[in-house]
Amino acid sequence: AQSVTQPDIHITVSEGASLELRCNYSYGATPYLFWYVQSPGQGLQLLLKYFSGDTLVQGIKGFEAEFKRSQSSFNLRKPSVHWSDAAEYFCAVGPTGTASKLTFGTGTRLQVTL
């Protein structure tokens, strides 16, 4: 069965510092991989996704993620965090060929200090 692990429940960074959120997945075939962000009381907003091709994926709001098949990882990065990036971040995996039936990680809550 597919699964996603986000090892960090909570991360605090200073505004302007770099950020890396970890995601490890378990899936038998080539997966779709996603990062979503959720602000309090809101739904999920897609940051970026990976299906195939270039392993470094660019997303919205200055985020990027790198797919590493050998490490089964899909870590999210941002070079300089803004206070408005404080939110909960979810990594998800889905079966190739469909965007539905996503399996989500438990999420990482990001706090940004000024």
Residues that bind another protein (CB under 8 A): 36, 41-46, 49, 51-52, 90, 92, 97-107
Minimal distance in Å, beta carbon 35 to another protein? 12
Report the 10 Å Cβ neighbour count for 33: 23
Nearer to another protein, 15 or 22 (CB): 22
Nearer to another protein, 64 or 104 (CB): 104
Distance, CA of 24 to CA of 69 (rounded, Å):
10
Nearer to another protein, 35 or 81 (CB): 35
Minimal distance in Å, beta carbon 80 to another protein? 26
Minimal distance in Å, beta carbon 60 to another protein? 12
Local structure of residue 59 (DSSP, 8 states) = -
**Bridge partners (DSSP) listed for residue 67:** 74
Alpha-carbon dihedral angle through residues 90, 95, 99, 103, given to the nearest 10 degrees: -30
